[in-house]
Structure formats: structure tokens, C-alpha cells
Amino acid sequence: MREKIVGILGGMGPEATLYCFDQIIRNTIAKNDQEHLRLIIDSNPKVPDRTAAILGKGESPVPVLVNSGNALMKAGADFIIIPCVSAHAFLNELKKGIKIPILSLFDAVTEFIKQNHPTINYIGMLATTGTIHSGAFKKRLEQDNIITYTPSEEDQKKVMEAIYDIKSVLTIANREKIKEKLLKVVNNLIEKGAQGIIAGCTEIPLVLKQKDLSIPLFDSIFILARAAIKEAGLKPLELS
């Protein structure tokens, strides 16, 4: 069976795309270069802001994403992954315009939780305001009987501040400050009853790690990377 070529529709933001590529490499069982997957990456940071579009305050990213997706197809990609959670709010529109399959991050994360943490019924969501407002991730989790807790309005502002800080000014010096801000929100979600936390924005795992939490942290990019490896025809590394 021929290995499938992975297309990464990225740039939202560039560092999240780099992290996704890194996670695919690190989760692939390979003894040499030739045993790794072939990937084609379009890192396009010019895509209009997804949250602004969802909230009706900016232009739709769909035309730009469709053009990039079909460019990946023409370059040889067999399927696409999108390391941007907010962009998945437009998944149905993208599937209509892009001529190769798109692997759903929502499906990958939900299935990972059910398979590896079947006792979790209540999950906390750290995501952009756009992702939360669209409700698409929440609906997908509910299909598998997982109830989502989202931050209060005040806490959601802190999450968005942290996300844009990561995108613009992430340094060693301010990494801890951003982490502290996010951990305060996490603790409030735990108080609500969250049994696990979804890093539902691809910037969040760049500062927040499992060692920082007392409950499971579900890194959406790590999970998407492993799903891409499987879809391409390889078996990812065993979970530790």
C-alpha cells in the first residue's frame, strides 16, 4: 500500500505549523530519513483572522484556504490537515471547495479522548473566542457524550490575550507570565468540574504542557499529528 502524502495547510500561526511538523516527525517510527512521511506545507500567514470572521468582524478566510488547499493537491498531497482549530469552524465550506479529503481535528481529538480516557465526561476548553462562539467543537464532543466547560467572559479575555501574546511576543522572559495567566483559567475550569483540558488553540501547547496540570491536557496538535500519521498509512509511536 502506497503511503499517502500529507498536506499541511498552515501559517495560522507559523509557529503552530512548525510545531505540527515537529510532532509528526517525533511521533513517526523511523530508523532513517526514508522511513519518514513525505509532507507538503503551505504556511500562509496572510489568511484572514478566523476569530474575526466567525464573529462577523472580518472577511472570510475560506477563499484563501481553498486556494491553498487546492495548491497542496496540485503539489501532490493526498489529504490535508489544518493546524488551526478556529479554521475548523469553516470545515464544511472548505470540504466543498478543496478537492482532496481534510482530516478533522475535531474528530481526531474526540476519538483520542474516548479511546484513551473513556471515563472523562466533562472537559474544559481553552480556545479562541471564535472557536467557542462557533460551537462546532462543542457539538462534536457532545456526539460522544462529552460535556464542554468554557471559561467565563472575563477568563476568555485572558485566554485571547495569552493567544495573541504567543503569536506576537513569545520569549523566554514572558513565557512564564503567559503560562500563569492560562493556568488561572484552567484552575477555574477544574473548579467547574472539568476532568481534562483541551488545548483548543494551536498556540496554547507552545507554553502549556502536561507537567503544568494536575489533570490530563489534550494537545490538539499532538493528537492531529498522530492522526495524520495513521491516515498516511504508518503507525505512530506508542503513547508513554
Residue tagged 496538535 (cell numbers): 221
Catalytic residue among 201, 204, 206, 228: 201
Distances (CA, A) of 235 to 35, 36, 46, 182, 201: 11, 11, 34, 33, 25
Q: How far apart are CA 153 and CA 203, in angstroms?
A: 20
Distance CA 55, CA 24 (A): 32
Active-site annotation holds for 84: yes
Q: Which whole-number Å values give the CA distances from 4 to 76, 131, 163, in the listed order?
A: 9, 29, 33
Rounded to whole angstroms, the Cα distance separating 50 from 160 reads: 13
Contact 204, 124 (CB under 8 A): no
Catalytic annotation, pick one of 53, 81, 84, 225: 84
Residue 201 appears among annotated catalytic residues = yes
CB hemisphere CA count around 51 (13 angstroms): 15
Beta bridge partners of 42: 9
The side-by-side arrangement of strands in the sheet containing 39-43 is: 39-43, 6-10, 79-81
Give catalytic residue positions: 84, 201
